[in-house]
Amino acid sequence: MRNSTNAAAAGCCTLLPLLLFSVGAGAAGVPPALLVFGDSLVDDGNNNALPSTLAKANYFPYGLDFLGGEATGRFCNGKTVIDALCDLFGLEYLPPFTSTGQDGGASLLGCVNYASAAGGILDETGQHLGERFSLSQQVVYLETNLDTIRSSSQLTIGYEQFLTRSIAVMVLGSNDYINNYLLTPLYDSADKYTPEEFADLLINHYTRQILALYSVGVKKFLLAGVGPLGCIPCMRAFNQGQCVDQVNQLVGLFNQGLRSLVDQLNADHPDAAFTFGNTYDAIQDMIDNPNKYGFTVMDSGCCGLGQNKGQITCLPLLQPCGNRDQYLFWDAYHPTQAANLVLAQRAFNGTQEDVYPFNLQQLADKLIY
């Protein structure tokens, strides 16, 4: 299993799972802030300021369909899932943390994004691509900024209520497979751990960071599962255009563990609320039922080179497809804006098949004491 899996992943160096603040009491059903942690799926420019990283999207045609057509550092043609959630909640879009200065300052009390392309749950994940913020670093950045938030005169509600009513959105795990477990011989994780052991390792590390956030007062969490990585163009490109089932099975182990963790956390912490975002099934539904979403191309990137436009990801000035709203994937690894809008909507007001046990509207309405 590992040989075929790693062969398909050999050409895949993903730039795939942030933190944002929006001050104020928030209207009914609107959190005062989203606290979002993640990777290139939600990075909106942090890696632009990291000089030694290869994981950047600060060039055309990235951002082609974003406001003004500017390449902001988002790994997409347009809006990320977080941008779409901000639209749904009526929150402003977020500047990247690296644009505010390391102490955040006053701008921290507006909106700040800590996501970092190539970052993962494990600190070593993505290290071959250079600088990035791992999950533990992103959590530390929040912790070091708490005093600034606490003392701010801009808060219209109490500091504790601000944290209690905010929602932590966590989008991580993809890199820990593509830029770690599947990337031999650069990483020895596949030699040290069985698939089950590696999924447990990720969940254990993830749990520690979640509890660190809980310990400083964050009480509402959306934990997004990992999508069907075996079906991204990069994987298909090295598997004769087909999904790599073994990779999807690996991801399934992690997602099962994450959903079980949500049940455990809700049972152990009745003063908090945790929910699981079923990203895998949402994307799989787009692959299986493209007509429902207006998609016509599910197996290739809109911008890229080689088989399935996935052997080489979107390069500077490369001409993308013209019918971007009909593509599920923008480049070798990331979904299009069209797909992100679907994912955000399902997380926002979907059923328990989409997000369990609460959708984000329900999570925002929950009273936490």
Residues involved in catalysis: 40, 331, 334
- Give CA–CA dist 342/30, Å, rounded: 20
- Give CA–CA dist 163/169, Å, rounded: 13
User: Which candidate, 103, 102, 97, places its Cα nearest to that of 151?
Assistant: 103
Beta pairing, strands 34-38 & 167-171: parallel
Quickly list H helices, the chain. Answer: 2-9, 81-89, 135-150, 159-165, 174-176, 189-192, 195-215, 233-237, 245-268, 279-288, 337-349, 360-365
- Give CA–CA dist 241/167, Å, rounded: 38
Contact 120, 180 (CB under 8 A): yes
- Give CA–CA dist 138/135, Å, rounded: 5
- Give CA–CA dist 289/284, Å, rounded: 8
Q: How many CB atoms lie within 10 A of CB 212?
A: 16
Peptide bond into 316 cis (omega under 30): no
With 0-12 / 13-18 / 19 or more C-beta atoms within 10 angstroms meaning exposed / middle / buried, residue 216 is exposed
- DSSP conformational letter for 92: P
Q: CA 36, 175, 210, 227: dihedral to nearest 10 degrees?
A: 80
